[in-house]
Amino acid sequence: MIITDTHTHLYSEAFDDDRAEMIKRALDEKVSRFFIPAIDSTYTESMFQLEKDFPEHVFLMMGLHPTHVKENYKEELNHVESMLGNRKFYAVGEIGIDLYWDKSTLEIQQEAFKHQIKLAKKYQLPIVIHCRDAFDEIFEVLEEEKGSDLFGIFHCFTGTLEQAHKALSYNMKLGIGGVVTFKNGKIDQFLSQIDLKHIVLETDAPYLAPVPFRGKRNESAYIIHVLEKLSNIYGVSLKEIASITTQNSQDIFGL
Ligand SMILES: [Zn+2]
């Protein structure tokens, strides 16, 4: 069994004291493929170090996170652009729009999102979307940019069934993580109506730990609780969930 965590911030300071042990716990649970979203340039060096330490398991993305789109966003976008030109990354992410933390930056968030979608198309890479309180704004951009060269993952999908279908219509897979285990998470109510071929697994560690760890630091090993929940929802074995979602991740990332 191979389990793929399509979204995990293993380089986060939250793991500075026990990173190697934490990754070993995941490997022991057969979570052996980690896709690592970027945040901003201050994390690039630690992402490279992580890749050096776990070259067979760690696959990096490059991008500017919407909550980090600030006054210096042009410099940050230049960093993303030059990195993508320098070496292999597996996606442009995480990118998108977040109106929960700061509405005043909406305009530059939209600009940064569109710019990075163009970079993804240039390098034929998938995008990994971060969307918080911004479904309409995100769909507006996707509508403009849609096409066979636009594809990727709607990370930490928490919308309605209708929004799920809309995301799929733009060649997006749904990244499902800890929220599916929450009592008030809602997506567990309709997920069975979405074919498993559109689903990938993620933790978003160190954030959004699944039940029974809700509120605590999340880590990639806990993805097993997401797997168990999906196994209940779809009525198929853990092994089958792991195999289908890993195949889906290979289709997106090309590895
Ligand atoms: Zn994230």
- 158 alpha carbon – ligand 1 mean position (Å): 14
CA of 254 to the centre of ligand 1 (A): 20
- Contact 157/167 with Cβ under 8 angstroms? yes
Q: State the fold for domain 3-253.
A: TIM Barrel (3.20.20)
Q: Give the bridge partners for 175, in sequence order.
A: 200
Show the tokens assigned to 74: 């042009």
The whole-number pLDDT of residue 19 equals: 98
CA distance 67 to 87: 25
For residue 221, the CA-to-ligand 1 centroid distance in Å is 16
For residue 195, how far is its CA from the centre of ligand 1 (angstroms)?
A: 24
Long-range contacts of 158-163 (CB under 8 A, 24+ apart): 158/185, 158/186, 158/187, 159/131, 159/135, 159/187, 160/186, 160/190, 161/190, 161/193, 161/194, 163/135
Secondary element (H or E) of residue 96: strand 92-98
Specify the pLDDT at position 62. 98
The pLDDT of residue 2 is 98
Three-state DSSP class for residue 39: coil
- Tell me, in angstroms, the distance from the centre of ligand 1 to residue 39's CA: 8
Q: What is the pLDDT of residue 179?
A: 96
Ligand 1 centroid vs 94 CA: distance in angstroms? 7
The residue ranges of the chain whose pLDDT is under 50 are none
Q: Report the SS3 class of residue 67.
A: helix
Residue 130 CA to ligand 1 centre (angstroms) = 7
pTM of the model: 0.97
3-state secondary structure of 36: strand
Name the β-bridge partners of 130: 96
- Ion ligand 1: residues, CB within 5 A, are 37, 204
83-111 as b/e: b if 16+ CB within 10 A? bbeeeebbbbbbbbbbbeeeeebbebbbe
Contacts of residue 178, Cβ cutoff 8 Å, sequence gap at least 6: 203, 204, 208, 209, 210, 211, 214, 218, 222, 225, 226
What pLDDT sits at residue 7? 98
**Phi, then psi, of 137 in degrees rounded to 5:** -65, -40
Round to whole Å and give the CA distance between 208 and 106.
24
Specify the DSSP class assigned to residue 77.
Answer: H
Q: Where are the domains of the chain?
A: 3-253
Instruction: For residue 7, report the distance from its CA to the centre of ligand 1, in Å.
Output: 6
